[in-house]
Amino acid sequence: MHSNGISRGHNGDSRRSSMVDATGRFCSQPTTGSPEILVGLCYDDKHEVVSVCIEKASSLGSDNAHPPDSFIRIIGLDEFSTELSRHKTDTVKHSTQPVYSHHCTMRFSKDKVESSTVRVEVWTVTGILRRKVQIGSISIGFASSTPDANEHWQQMMQISSMTTNQDRCVDIWKTVRGPKFLITLPQQIPRRLLKN
């Protein structure tokens, strides 16, 4: 599920090139071999909500004979990394290229959206005991885990400031990082104030 309109997925990342997907939207291509997810973002400043679209993932696991079951967890955080909201996609079974087509909204007020973060986590479910294992995540927004993720958030905010473009999502493939990867937090937020 996704918002109507033309997505602006090309972001200047030299590893990627833009393409038109089956729905006619522009988005960046995945990087072969690394686990990635296609994330769409748009901000409706009238209703003060961020719409998050989790379209699909690529390269989740290398064993095509035993492809994993997987789901995505989406978490909204404030400037102190306090959890504000949480959503989860349905579990897609037996696929290294799962399609989630999940849409959710998170309420971030106009005066707080610039200091908010959306964290997207990729989980697999394995074994007879159905053990949940986080294989990676990406943080987008105030506490972005990569410059590319920060640029994605800024593109969303730029489009939200254009009245005629508020229904357009910015769709970009994101490489997920291992669960032990520490996000780079802005210098002005002391780490002692952040909750683990």
Lowest mean pLDDT of 56-65, 85-94, 100-109, 176-185, name the range: 176-185
| Domain edges within the chain | 18-176
Question: What does the DSSP assignment read for 50-114?
Answer: EEEEEEEEE---S-TTSPPEEEEEEEEE-TT--EEEEEEPPPBPS-SS-EEEEEEEEE--TTTGG
- Please tell me which residue, 156 or 2, carries the higher pLDDT value: 156
Q: Determine phi and psi for 163, rounding to 5 degrees.
A: -50, -40
Mean pLDDT (the chain) is 78
Sign of CA dihedral 22, 23, 24, 30: negative
**pLDDT of amino acid 101:** 96
pTM across the whole model = 0.74
**pLDDT confidence bin for 10, thresholds 50/70/90:** very low
Residue 161 has what pLDDT? 76
Mean pLDDT of 141-148: 94
CATH class of 18-176: mainly beta
Structure tokens at 133: 């294992």
Give the pLDDT mean for 167-175.
Answer: 85
Tell me the CA end-to-end span of the chain in Å, nearest whole number. Answer: 32
Residues 96-128 have pLDDT tens digits of 999 999 999 999 999 999 999 999 999 999 878
Is the pLDDT at 80 greater than 50, yes or no? yes
| pLDDT at residue 180, as a whole number | 54
Q: How far apart are CA 48 and CA 36, in angstroms?
A: 28
